[in-house]
Structure 1
């Protein structure tokens, strides 16, 4: 309870909030959508979708986490209820396109109930405009959930808190301490500024469970899908007690500084260009190849380079697609990573690209 309180206060909610630890971001996002459904359709908790007059739908960017699709299926509203909105040039959920889709869905007789803002997409680390999405949520009477599994950890940094400006406007927030807060697996957190919705959505009464009469104690099985559960809060509780928030201020500041160092080095790269805006310490690189090179061939070259750079087991990077384009992806997240590690990776990438596409070196010589 104390750890949840610490996190909620950093979100900026004052005293009126609740939450619980989860197994990770997947369960936390599932919980948030369950809360949003129960808030918009109170009859859903007892009677299911048969009590809901029209098909519920919710909104997220095309780059939002796949757990939203899983959750929609598990909640019974179906994966087609996830309305994925095309991102803008900043890889953010586009508010104008979102408003148009909400209007279209309402005109079609559907029931919008939630907007999901992402604070740190998996592919590129993009952070949606939470303030703008909050305004839309208020306009249309929708629940606003911030999936901040990665990026919401910025609330622990006074210097970088503005990365998630407006997070206090959310109805619920997901944070994964096992990401940017450097905790061991597994540790997820779901927080909500509507604490009463946790019990309204998940509480059950059983004669074999002891009754808690002390308001300072919590029956966590009434606040989430879990019954038997690990004490996932303990590791973060001890870390904050021993090292304090200042340790996270330092960690986040150091990694943002490393990201700036890498970004500066990439400006001089002969082979790679940043293909997406870099907000958090995640990088998307593309080879500087002629336009005539097709996307499939470029993806093959990216895959070849990634295999070459990772086969010695000294580093781990990957390929993915951002907004439909093939990219090489890597991120800085370990507190042990230094500028020397980053420089070694960039050098390995340059050398591998030189072997994979030697004609580029000749063209730029």
Structure 2
């Protein structure tokens, strides 16, 4: 068996794949936004394939392309207004192809010195963008925001409890407690399960009228805490909540954290992209004083999944948390002043995640990214203006491109959003989601695609208006 194929076959295969992908990439809008969810057909299509002896490469490629075409939500579509899943820029796609071909192993510095140094450079660049003092900052690429948030909790624990690395949780005589907004990402709940703290040690603070963590309630919780049982560990502020795009008051949270000697982490997985825009970065004021930051480049920076960054202003804490010695890892670089990646991260074997971001920056530059981020923010403002012109009401308050809206006269009717959303998904022309705000279901539209223009916004608003007319005719004929 020849895994490589010969040169002529490789060229034929890559051209065949390229033509298929180019058709998709250049005409994504011609697709429907979402599939019909037919699990029986999907499983039958998989079982129909020959795995024992293999099939011709082009037939195999057709099978996969057809499956993805027919059974995927097309997140690269300019009318995908859903979660933080953007269209991948082309430089990022090429970077993944290059990475897969060279397949560098980033566990040890000497195995992939160029790749490791690229990621170290990007860590310094982003530390500087977020306002950290570069010489005191550190960080690492992670598989996603969940790993970055888990890393933050591990770093906070190892920073506060020096014996943790060797003695584990048995070295802690009180229960560490974590404070965050009730709108904080659920990866925090998963992380405390992983580290062995348990979800009961998360104190979820209610939000205020602006959907941000209520500072007064946070202070009350800290004051009434039984310090004979609990030991406050950290405060997690969110810069761009998943549901409404709210940014917690990072300045005040930092002051409270410093006063109580708590680790202050900012989950800026999506909203962190605002730091690249002169118009938007003011909303992240206070992030520069945090102890750590989560940022997902695969969200607002439009690179392929997954490329997240964990940053910290304490340059010794990653080593404290993950340092380990082995006999079998390469020692070629032991005499050099370098950090071995496997001692610096949850991961051991590591993909070159940073290349998709590095090649994108080399290609488009910081200025290019600022233009794209400002464009998406402009499109969100345009969406708000068009909704208001058509008698919709906006229920969230954010300068990030996340818009939550409804019709005031129907917001108490649970069937309103449910039925309209069902019809929109059946139409397969647009994709958006629902999110409850103060117990009221709202439509949630997020601008994640750099190709989304006023044309797509107008099409979405028109489709929504038509569905409202149908809803009124069917459910509330007296309304007319």
Structure-1-length-normalised TM-score = 0.94
Please name the residue that 2:215 is paired with.
95
- 8 Å CA contact 1:287, 1:302 repeated in 2: no
**Residues 347 and 6 (structure 1 numbering): CA distance in 2 closer, same or farther, change over 3 Å?**
same
- Residue 427 of structure 2 corresponds to residue 307 of structure 1: no
Q: CA deviation at 1:238?
A: 0.9
Matches within 5 A, 1:254-333: 254-270=375-391, 272-289=392-409, 293=412, 297-298=413-414, 300-333=415-448
Query: Pick from 363, 369, 374: which aligns with 1:242?
Result: 363
Matches within 5 A, 1:1-365: 1-15=120-134, 16-107=136-227, 109-211=229-331, 212-213=333-334, 217-270=338-391, 272-289=392-409, 293=412, 297-298=413-414, 300-358=415-473, 363=479
Determine the C-alpha separation between the residues in 1 that align with 2:205 and 2:270. 21
- 8 Å CA contact 2:174, 2:228 repeated in 1: no
Q: CA deviation at 1:320?
A: 2.3
**Residues 220 and 324 (structure 1 numbering): CA distance in 2 closer, same or farther, change over 3 Å?**
farther
Unaligned stretches of 5+ residues in structure 1: none
Q: CA deviation at 1:255?
A: 1.1
Determine the C-alpha separation between the residues in 2 that align with 1:215 and 1:263. 55
Identify the structure with bigger relative contact order (alpha carbons < 8 Å, sequence gap 6+): 2
Determine the C-alpha separation between the residues in 1 that align with 2:429 and 2:402. 18
In our comparison, the structure showing a higher alpha carbon Rg is 2
Aligned residues: 358
**Which has the larger helix fraction?**
2
- 8 Å CA contact 1:63, 1:323 repeated in 2: no
Answer with 351-360 or 250-259: which moved more: 351-360
- 8 Å CA contact 1:69, 1:79 repeated in 2: yes
Answer with 208-217 or 241-250: which moved more: 208-217
Q: CA deviation at 1:265?
A: 1.4
Determine the C-alpha separation between the residues in 2 that align with 1:216 and 1:2. 15
Determine the C-alpha separation between the residues in 2 that align with 1:136 and 1:14. 21
Please name the residue that 2:4 is paired with.
none
Give the aligned CA root-mean-square deviation in angstroms: 1.7
Q: CA deviation at 1:210?
A: 1.7
- 8 Å CA contact 1:72, 1:78 repeated in 2: yes
Q: CA deviation at 1:189?
A: 0.6
